[in-house]
């Protein structure tokens, strides 16, 4: 890995180069680390520091300029391999079943995620103002980055998040809970400054800023209020599910099957309670109530599937224990980050972690290659496939490559 990082670095001569390139490392591994640094925390810290030290002085919101995708193929995946994927990328962990019918698609997924990225090196900095304070434990924790030179209490006024890239039609939800106890009642009071910086598809660095005022929190628009209720359910249900899955994974690997089973049951029960709570709040919108129920049911379905698998573990079957640990980590990372992982792993993946939309991918060759993979029997649907039959009908007399071409696409 050190050689790969240095090779990327050798073609870059300034911070501008690092921000404008889509830099990626894809690691295929049997899941075990047999040499070098093997302690999880030390290895991840070593890799991040190596990357940070090559960043030409970029600030803390931008200096992790290369994403590391990890595809593990074995049944004895180490915690270190998982953490490398979790901390050095903003995508899901990939645990590949070599007996799957979709191995070709699954092995191509990290490349697909890079090729369908429309923005990258995305940093989000949130800073509270005029007495407003962040409630740290109720804010999004994933993809959060450490700000250097912080002082005690800064976590209550400033938070930063980093996403290596974002794919076409994808969404990232970052939750911030703000205490208003020390904010005056004036509706024009500014309570937060949100700054998002990113590299666009054209390669240019862009920045947008939004000032949040007290009046923005007043939900007089009923339709907007109902949609916020739906988003809050999604955030809370995701958080509860991920905690349950992570706890269950740790317990199944340690051999405590009973505790792992209890974690999954409790997680499903908590999601059900959230569904009922937010469903009651959304009483004026049948569409929102339906969306809330569908989202919560999808999460519970995944925990139910994993519960059945855990209950099937017998005796000292360490191979199955490790397999279920890796599967839980895979599912939890895909749900938490709202990004796809290997096929046939996440139930209702189109809702929880959809595939990218490839209609706007720049290269016709890439679009054709990805399109062929998407349309293989058994591979999940995507936004792209919703209109595929219509497109095929219109293009019957033309070569297949024309299906994916668009006149205003940029070239790779």
Question: 13: how many CB neighbours lie within 10 A of its CB?
Answer: 10
pLDDT band at 393; cut points 50, 70, 90 = very low
Q: Among residues 288, 289, 296, which one has the least CA distance to residue 241?
A: 296
CA 168 from centre of chain: 14
Which tokens sit at 65? 């300029």
pLDDT of 222-247, one tens digit each? 788 888 899 999 999 999 999 999 99
> Alpha-carbon distance 192 to 133, whole Å?
9
pTM of the full structure: 0.80
pLDDT of 258-279, one tens digit each? 999 999 999 999 999 999 999 9
CA angle 142, 146, 149 (to 5 degrees): 165
- Is 382:108 a contact under the CB 8 Å cutoff? no
Which tokens sit at 71? 């595809």
Q: Is it the case that residue 38 has pLDDT exceeding 80?
A: no
Sign of CA dihedral 261, 262, 265, 266: negative
For the ranges 46-50, 84-88, 370-374, the one whose mean pLDDT is highest: 84-88
Structural element, H or E, at residue 128:
strand 117-128
Percentage above 90 pLDDT, the chain = 27
> Alpha-carbon distance 268 to 237, whole Å?
10
Q: Is it the case that residue 3 has pLDDT exceeding 80?
A: no
Q: Is it the case that residue 381 has pLDDT exceeding 60?
A: no
């Amino acid at each position: 890995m050190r050689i790969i990082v240095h090779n990327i670095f050798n073609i870059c001569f300034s911070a501008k180069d690092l921000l404008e390139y889509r830099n990626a490392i894809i690691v295929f591994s049997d899941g075990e680390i047999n040499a070098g640094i093997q302690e999880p925390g030390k290895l991840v810290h070593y890799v991040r520091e190596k990357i940070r030290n090559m960043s030409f002085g970029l600030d803390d919101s931008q200096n992790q300029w290369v994403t590391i995708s990890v595809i593990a193929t074995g049944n004895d995946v180490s915690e270190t391999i998982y953490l490398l994927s979790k901390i050095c990328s903003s995508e899901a962990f990939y645990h590949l079943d070599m007996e799957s019918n979709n191995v070709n698609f699954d092995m191509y997924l990290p490349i697909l995620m890079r090729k369908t990225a429309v923005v990258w090196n995305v940093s989000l900095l949130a800073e509270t103002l005029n007495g407003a304070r962040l409630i740290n434990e109720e804010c999004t924790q994933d993809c959060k980055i450490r700000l250097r030179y912080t002082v005690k209490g800064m976590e209550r006024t400033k938070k930063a998040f980093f996403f290596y890239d974002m794919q076409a039609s994808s969404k990232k939800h970052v939750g911030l809970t703000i205490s208003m106890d020390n904010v005056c009642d004036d509706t024009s009071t500014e309570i937060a400054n949100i700054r998002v910086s990113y590299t666009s598809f054209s390669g240019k660095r862009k920045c947008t800023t939004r000032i949040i005022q007290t009046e923005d929190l007043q939900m007089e628009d009923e339709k907007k209020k109902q949609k916020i209720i739906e988003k809050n359910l999604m955030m809370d249900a995701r958080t509860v599910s991920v905690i349950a899955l992570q706890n269950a994974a740790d317990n199944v690997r340690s051999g405590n099957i009973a505790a792992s089973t209890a974690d999954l049951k409790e997680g499903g029960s908590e999601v059900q309670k959230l569904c009922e709570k937010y469903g009651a709040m959304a009483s004026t919108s049948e569409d929102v109530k339906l969306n809330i129920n569908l989202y919560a049911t999808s999460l519970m379905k995944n925990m139910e599937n994993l519960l059945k698998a855990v209950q099937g573990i017998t005796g000292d079957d360490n191979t199955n224990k490790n397999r279920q640990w890796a599967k839980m980590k895979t599912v939890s990372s895909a749900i938490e980050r709202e990004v796809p992982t290997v096929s046939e792993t996440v139930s209702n993946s189109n809702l929880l972690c959809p595939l990218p939309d490839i209609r706007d991918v720049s290269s016709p060759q890439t679009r054709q290659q990805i399109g062929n993979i998407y349309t293989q029997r058994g591979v999940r649907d995507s936004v792209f496939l919703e209109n595929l039959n219509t497109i095929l009908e219109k293009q019957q007399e033309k070569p297949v490559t024309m299906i994916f071409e668009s006149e205003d696409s940029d070239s790779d």
